[in-house]
Amino acid sequence: MSRNRIRESLEGYLFLLPNLLGFLIFMAVPLAISFYYSFTDYNLFTEPKWVGLANYTKALGFTTNVESYNAILASGKSWFSALGALIQPNDPTFWVAFGNTIKYALGVLILSVIPAFLIAWLLNSKLRGMTVFRAMIYIPVVASVVGSSLVWFWIYQQQNGVLNTVIRWLVNGLNALIFTPLGNPLADPLIGWLVTPQWALLSLIIMTSWSTIGYDMVIFLAALQGIPTHLYEAAVVDGASRNTILRKIVVPLLSPTIFFILVTNIISSLQIFSEPFIMTQGGPANSTLTIVYYLYQKGFQRFQMGYGAALAWIVFALIFLVTIIQFRISKHWVFEE
Amino acid sequence: MFLQGERTSIFSKVLYYLALSLLGLLFLYPFIFMVASSLKESPEVYSNILSLFGARLRFENYHTVVTSVQMGKYLLNTTIVTLCVTLGQIVTSLLGGYAFARLRFPGRDIIFRVYLGTMMIPFTVIMVPMYKMMLTFGWVDKLVSLIVPWLFTAYGTFLMRQFFLGIPKELEEAAIIDGANRFTILTKIFVPISGPAIATQFTISFLYAWNSFIWPLVAIQSRANYVVTQGLADIQGGYHANPPIVLAASTLAIIPTVLIFLFAQRYFVQGVATTGMKN
Whether residue B124 is contained in a domain is answered as yes
State how far the Cα of A135 lies from the Cα of B84, in Å rounded to an integer.
Answer: 27
Neighbours of B89 (CB within 10 A): 25
Considering the domain architecture, whether residues B161 and B129 belong to the same structural domain is answered as: yes
Identify the helix (H) or strand (E) that includes residue A264. helix A251-269
- Could you tell me the residue range of the domain that residue B119 belongs to? 65-278
| Nearest CA-CA partner of B55 in B40, B35, B36 | B40
Instruction: Tell whether B3 is covered by a domain.
Output: no
Q: What is the mean pLDDT of residues A91-103?
A: 94
ipTM for the predicted complex: 0.89
Least confidently predicted of A23-32, A180-189, B20-29, B81-90: A180-189
Q: State the CB neighbour count (10 A cutoff) for residue A130.
A: 17
Other Cβ atoms closer than 10 A to A290: 29
Q: In chain A, how many domains are there?
A: 2
Q: Which of residues 210-249 of B touch A (CB under 8 A)?
A: 210-211, 213-214, 217-218, 228-229, 232-233, 236, 243, 246-247, 249
Q: Are A238 and A264 in contact (CB under 8 A)?
A: no
**Which class for A59: exposed (0-12), middle (13-18), buried (19 or more C-beta within 10 A)?**
buried
In a domain, B259, yes or no: yes
- Whether B2 is in a domain gets the answer no
Q: Do B254 and A223 touch (CB under 8 A)?
A: no
Distance from the Cα of residue A327 to its chain's centroid: 19
Q: How high is the pLDDT of residue B208?
A: 92
Distance between CA atoms of B42 and B54, rounded to whole angstroms?
A: 10
Same structural domain, B232 and B260: yes
Residues B143 and B240 in one domain: yes
Do A288 and A165 fall within a single domain?
Answer: no
CB contacts of B34 in chain A (<8 Å) are 151
Chain-chain contact of B128 with A312 (C-beta, under 8 angstroms): yes
Q: What is the pLDDT of residue B270?
A: 73
Q: Are residues A99 and A163 in the same domain?
A: no
Quick check: is A44 in a domain?
no
Question: What is the total count of domains within chain B?
Answer: 2
| A24 occurs within a structural domain | no
Does B263 reach chain A within 8 Å, measured CB to CB?
no
Length of chain B in terms of residues written: 279
Residue B49 with chain A: CB contacts under 8 Å: 154, 160-162, 165
Q: Is A209 part of any domain? A: yes
Give the three-state DSSP class for A222.
helix
Question: How many CA atoms lie less than 13 Å away from A226 in the CB half-sphere?
Answer: 16
Q: Round to whole Å and give the CA distance between B122 and B109.
A: 23
**Chain B partners of A320 at a C-beta cutoff of 8 Å?**
120
Is B89 inside a domain boundary?
yes
Residue A296: list chain B partners with CB under 8 A. 214, 217-218
Please tell me whether residues A125 and A175 are part of one structural domain. no
The DSSP bridge pattern shows strands A87-89 and A49-50 to be unpaired
Does A123 contact B132 at a Cβ distance shorter than 8 Å? no
Q: What's the DSSP call for residue A12? A: H
Residues B43, B96, single domain; the answer is no
* Domain span at A168: 157-191
- Residue B3 neighbours by CB distance under 10 Å: 18
Distance of CA A203 to the CA centre of its chain: 14
- Residue A30's pLDDT band (cuts 50, 70, 90): very high
- If asked whether residues B234 and B96 sit together in one domain, one would say yes
* Mean pLDDT value of segment A13-17: 92
Model pLDDT, residue A283: 82
The pLDDT value recorded for residue B278 is 44
Q: Please tell me the predicted confidence (pLDDT) of residue A1.
A: 56
Segment A100-105 mean pLDDT: 96
Whether B75 and chain A come into contact, CB under 8 Å, resolves to no
Same structural domain for residues B42 and B127? no
Could you say which residues of chain B have pLDDT below 70? 1-7, 273-279
What does the pLDDT look like over B165-180, one tens digit per residue? 988 888 888 888 887 8
Asked which of B46, B62, B78 is the last residue of a domain, the reply is B62
Mean pLDDT of the residues in chain A:
89
B250 in reach of chain A (CB within 8 A): yes
Please tell me which residue of chain A has the smallest CA distance to B182.
A11
Distance (Å, whole) CA A277 – CA A211: 16
Contact A12 B99 (CB under 8 A): yes
Q: Which of A1, A10, A27 to mutate to test the interface with B (most CBs of B within 10 A)?
A: A27
Give domain status of residue B107, yes or no. Answer: yes
In terms of Cβ atoms closer than 10 Å to its own Cβ (0-12, 13-18, 19+), residue A221 is: buried
Q: Which one of B125, B132, B269 has the shortest CB-CB distance to A218? A: B269
Q: Which residues of A touch B221 (CB under 8 A)?
A: none
pLDDT of residue B279: 37
Q: Does B208 touch chain A (CB under 8 A)?
A: no
Distance CA A84, CA A78 (A): 11
Q: A204 and A323 in one domain? A: yes
Check CB contact under 8 Å for A222 and B276. yes
Q: B182–A313: do the CB atoms touch at under 8 Å?
A: no
Q: Do B33 and A127 touch (CB under 8 A)?
A: no
A302 and A238 part of one domain: yes
The reply to whether A229 and A262 lie within a common domain is: yes
Contacts of B51 in chain A (CB under 8 A): none
Q: Do residues B31 and B87 share a domain?
A: no
A255-314 pLDDT per residue, tens? 888 888 888 899 999 999 999 999 999 889 999 999 999 999 999 999 999 999 999 999
Contacts of A139 in chain B (CB under 8 A): 27-28, 31, 258, 261
Q: Which of A139, A195, A241, A293 to mutate to test the interface with B (most CBs of B within 10 A)?
A: A139
- The answer to whether position A43 is within a domain reads no
Residue A84 pLDDT exceeds 80: no
**Same domain for B115 and B52:** no
- Residue in chain B closest to A19 (alpha carbons) equals B152
In a shared domain, residues B140 and B194: yes
| Residue B4 within any structural domain of the chain | no
What is the C-alpha to C-alpha distance for residues A151 and A163, in angstroms, rounded to an integer? 12
Shared domain check, A218 and A97: yes
| 3-state SS, residue B37 | helix
Confidence of residue A240 (pLDDT cuts 50, 70, 90): confident
Which of B8, B25, B26, B27 best tests the A interface by mutation, with the highest count of A CBs <10 A?
B27
Does one domain contain both A260 and A113?
A: yes
In this prediction the pTM is: 0.90
Asked if residue B32 and residue B135 are part of one domain, the reply reads no
**A197 preceded by cis ω (within 30°)?**
no
Q: Is the dihedral of CA B224, B226, B232, B233 positive or negative?
A: negative
DSSP codes joined into one string, B147-206: HGGGS--HHHHHHHHHHHHTS-THHHHHHHHTT--HHHIIIIIIGGG-HHHHHHHHHHHH
CATH code of B166's domain = 1.10.3720.10
Q: What is the 3-state secondary structure (H, E, C) of A126-173?
A: CCCCHHHHHHHHHHHHHCCHHHHHHHHHHHCCCCCCHHHHHHHHHHHH
Q: How many CB pairs under 8 A join A and B?
A: 285
Q: How far apart are CA B8 and CA B2, in angstroms?
A: 7
Nearest to B186 by CA among B177, B194, B198, B197: B194
Same domain, A131 and A164: no
The answer on pLDDT for A321 being more than 50 is yes
Look at B1 and A142 and tell me if their CB atoms are within 8 Å.
no
Determine the distance in angstroms separating the CA of B26 from the nearest CA of chain A, rounded to an integer: 9
Residues B190 and B273 in one domain: yes
Q: A200-218: per-residue pLDDT in tens?
A: 999 999 999 999 999 999 9
Asked if residue B1 belongs to a domain, the reply is no
Residues A182 and A282 in one domain: no
Same domain, A274 and A308: yes
Q: Least CA distance to B134: which residue of chain A? A: A26
Inter-chain CB proximity B96 and A18 less than 8 Å? yes
- Which range has the worst mean pLDDT, A55-69, A119-133, A240-254, B50-64? A240-254
A-interface mutation test, from B4, B10, B74, B127, most A Cβ less than 10 A away: B127
Q: How far apart, in Å, are the Cα atoms of A205 and each of A109, A211, B27?
A: 9, 10, 15
In a domain, A57, yes or no: no
Search chain A and give the residue with CA nearest B145: A26
Report d(CA B221, CA B246) in Å as an integer: 21
Cβ pair B1, A122 in contact under 8 A? yes
- Please say whether the beta carbons of A30 and B131 come within 8 A: no
- Domain C-terminal end among B35, B62, B89: B62
Q: Contact A166/B213, CB-based, under 8 Å? A: no
In chain A, whose CA is at the least distance from the CA of B153?
A19
Same domain for B210 and B165?
yes
Same domain assignment for residues A218 and A331: yes
Chain A residues in contact with B182 by the CB 8 A cut-off are 11, 15
Per DSSP, what are the bridge partners of residue A89?
A62
Cα torsion angle, B89, B93, B94, B99, sign: positive
**Are residues B245 and A119 in contact, defined by beta-carbon separation less than 8 angstroms?**
no
B24 with A296: Cβ contact below 8 A: no
A281: CATH: 1.10.3720.10
